[in-house]
Amino acid sequence: MASSTIPRAAGLVVSRMPPMPTISDILRLYRLRALKHLGQNFLLNPRLIKKIVKSAGPIENCSVLEIGPGPGSLTRGILEAGVRDLTVIERDSRFMPVMKELQEACGIPMTIKQGDILREDLQSIFPEDTVRPWNSDELPPVHIIANLPFNISTPLAIRWLNDISTHSGMFRYGRVKMTLMFQHEVAQRMIAHPGNEQRSRLSVMCQNYCSVNYIFPIKGTSFLPKPEVDAGVVQLIPLKEPTIKQPFKMVEKVVRNIYNQRRHTLPHGVGTLFPKSHKHLSAEMLEMSGVEPTRKPFMLEVEEFGMLCAAYEKIVTENPIMAHYQFR
């Protein structure tokens, strides 16, 4: 059954999907249930779906990537917004028939990929005419919208931040906007400011490479099955320039080691960057950085982590073997 379109201002169109079974009916018809080991929780509330899609900003005539569409509730909301094209990546083969039904009904170019997003090459995920210069004020007309499986959300975020640092993967198209659902606690860590007990490695890494905004919370009762925690919608837009200029792997190593000793003052975390035989280097690094050693990691600004990274870079340049040292 073909879809119809509704005219919109400025020549934009919104797709009207043909009548289809509800998501609850889909789950029942295909005997689908969420799998805990895949971190699946299905969002069924149409009002929340519309709110998430609206929070992404104008997506009419844009290319969109959705990760983990599951039974397609968010997918429907994206398609109804009148996007130019949609690509979905789903690991679970049980949802392929559901996605194919939507593909046939929507009247919009829709690509279905079965695979693990942590292993997918996203270099060619969008049309070539969507590429925009990194330093342009104009963002590329592409969006990532996803209800991320809770069990992969943090490693996926770190991987994408790495790609942002090198303008690679899907970020070769430019500063791609992302509107993503995370576990509430993870979302809070992403936006946590210095002095907040929630501040973590993820806070520093996200805020170094992106503008991060918490859009709104979603109660766990909105999902099927109900998770033990609530969720939060977060929007990330890559910055033109990160605050910390050192290579991503070096930045991540310094921030990770320091936060591994999050309850202690800085000498404890900095000390794990060097072997005990070179303990003097941690004192040198702190002195060189100019950051007060009595402070704890959650107190530090991104700029102060930048000072620590600059000092670490200078030390490993003078002592190259130290760059390979890994604590434990």
Tell me the binding residues for S-adenosyl-L-methionine: 41, 43, 68, 90, 116, 147
Helix (H) or strand (E) holding 250: helix 248-259
Helix axes 201-209, 248-259, angle to 10 degrees: 150
- Which residues, other chains included, contact 134 with Cβ-Cβ below 8 Å and sequence gap of 6+? 167, 174, 175, 240
- Report d(CA 245, CA 250) in Å as an integer: 10
Is the peptide bond between 225 and the residue preceding it cis, with omega within 30 degrees of 0?
yes
Q: What six digits make up the tokens of 240?
A: 């033109």
- Report d(CA 328, CA 325) in Å as an integer: 9
Binding residues: 41, 43, 68, 90, 116, 147
What is the residue-wise DSSP string for 216-235?
A: EEE-GGGEESPPSS-EEEEE
What is the residue-wise DSSP string for 288-323?
A: HHT--TTS-GGG--HHHHHHHHHHHHHHHHHSGGGG
Q: Provide the β-strand partners of residue 5.
A: 15
Per DSSP, which regions of the chain are E strands?
A: 4-7, 13-16, 42-43, 63-67, 85-90, 110-114, 142-147, 177-183, 210-218, 223-224, 231-238
- Beta strand pairing call for 177-183 and 142-147: parallel
- Report d(CA 43, CA 243) in Å as an integer: 36
What is the residue-wise DSSP string for 119-133?
A: T---TTSS-GGG---
DSSP assignment, residue 328? -
